[in-house]
Structure 1
């Protein structure tokens, strides 16, 4: 098992890609902290993973836009497990609109969750990982943070910021053996894309060289690689998981 007895905190992990990452880590022996703004869903996911994979889990409610919530998340995790080996910053939202029509509230909300939330979570865990002299931080960015996308100025800016933050933290933390990397997903099948018509999904697939949308498991597999010792000489990198949409 690649992550046996390690402790992984995954934000926004009650459902979707975050849940798939949590399950993939649990299969490899990690104890899991499910954290989400929706505590009911978080608890249900934590219970399911504990039962399914025979690992220890805990569900903690947190709003990543609040540093105090992130600090509370880390404190409760340490109370339960006494260490934190892996942090996956997965929590994110979209509020798409053209720049001409985008409201200040739509801009602020996305930047606050997707970029400030990553900063808050990293800041909250840094002292612990520095003391341990070990850690893995994995930030979920996006292909549009690299190439942009019409109607997603706020989302693109937030994810581009996550990539820059990843590289800076990698440089600042490397002396303490803390590796910081990002994953930039392309179009991935999620509850959000499931709501799209077949016609719209076909249009998305047309711009992807592999001619299909990705699966949440594709992202989870990359996260597992970055969390494990297989990636022990990789930091400050962005793994593009997009079917060739950006090369």
Structure 2
């Protein structure tokens, strides 16, 4: 499905990013694993992919810092000559009610979820416009679609991703570049591991399929959007939430 495609996945050390990297590699893509603080997790992922006979490499970069993002894309240009797919996955979540949200927590989420996604999309677009082709997949959230009590700042950053996706899709389409987003629902990752059992049960009760999703559920959609199967899909926000939002 992705034979010989060069795909960059940001924040790929664990969760949805890791699952996407593994599935992309299994579909014969050349995977670039971006990480910042999780070097051990990224290294383990590379070892896992390579041990299966697939291709992968890793690049350290803090996506919230524009100079590091530029350096990362310069390295990709040098090493591979082009980029076929960007998966903007890096993100953090900190929950808090509106009036109790610390400014530094909001800043952290804005820097990574908003600026990081924007910086990477911008640099990918520069490469892909010269190629006249490319696919960009941003990871938003169900919370960015419908909001969520206790996660006002986080929800806002994921709504930013939706606006960025739609506007970029309109602007870049004439260059043969598609820009789409996935909006995961209640997925079993590190971000949701700290939820109290009663909260988890309450959320699951609102999902028609009656269960949490897995990182692999999201990865399958991301890989589809990375492939030729999505050539006429552009500017869409695809929910992977078991029907929680419809």
For the superposition of Structure 1 and Structure 2, which TM-score range results when normalised by the shorter chain? over 0.9
CA RMSD of aligned residues (A): 1.2
Q: Which residue of 1 aligns with 2:51?
A: 51
Q: Distance between the aligned counterparts of 1:56 and 1:12, measured in 2?
A: 18
1:35 is displaced (CA, Å) by: 0.5
SS at match of 1:47: helix
Normalization by structure 2: what TM-score?
0.96
Equivalent residue number for residue 103 of structure 1: 102
* Displacement after TM superposition at 1:80 (Å): 1.9
Contiguous gaps of at least 5 residues in structure 1: none
Q: Partner residue of 2:33?
A: 34
Q: Using the alignment, how far apart are the partners of 1:246 and 1:138 within structure 2?
A: 20
Instruction: Provide the residue aligned with 1:172 in structure 2.
Output: 171
In the other structure, the counterpart of 1:153 is 152
Indicate conservation of the 8 Å contact 2:106/2:153, yes or no: yes
Q: Output aligned runs, 1:67-82, within 5 Å.
A: 67-82=66-81
Question: SS of 1:204's equivalent?
Answer: helix
2:128 match: secondary structure: helix
Alignment size in residue pairs = 245
- Contact 2:25/2:56, CA 8 A, preserved across alignment: no
Normalization by structure 1: what TM-score?
Answer: 0.96
Trace 1:97-246 onto structure 2 (pairs within 5 A). 97-246=96-245
Once residues 69 and 41 of structure 2 are traced to their aligned partners in structure 1, the CA distance between those partners, rounded to angstroms, is: 18
Q: Deviating runs (4+, > 4 A) in structure 1? A: none
Q: 2:93 touches 2:191 (CA, 8 Å); kept in 1?
A: no
* Range that drifts further, 210-219 or 36-45: 36-45
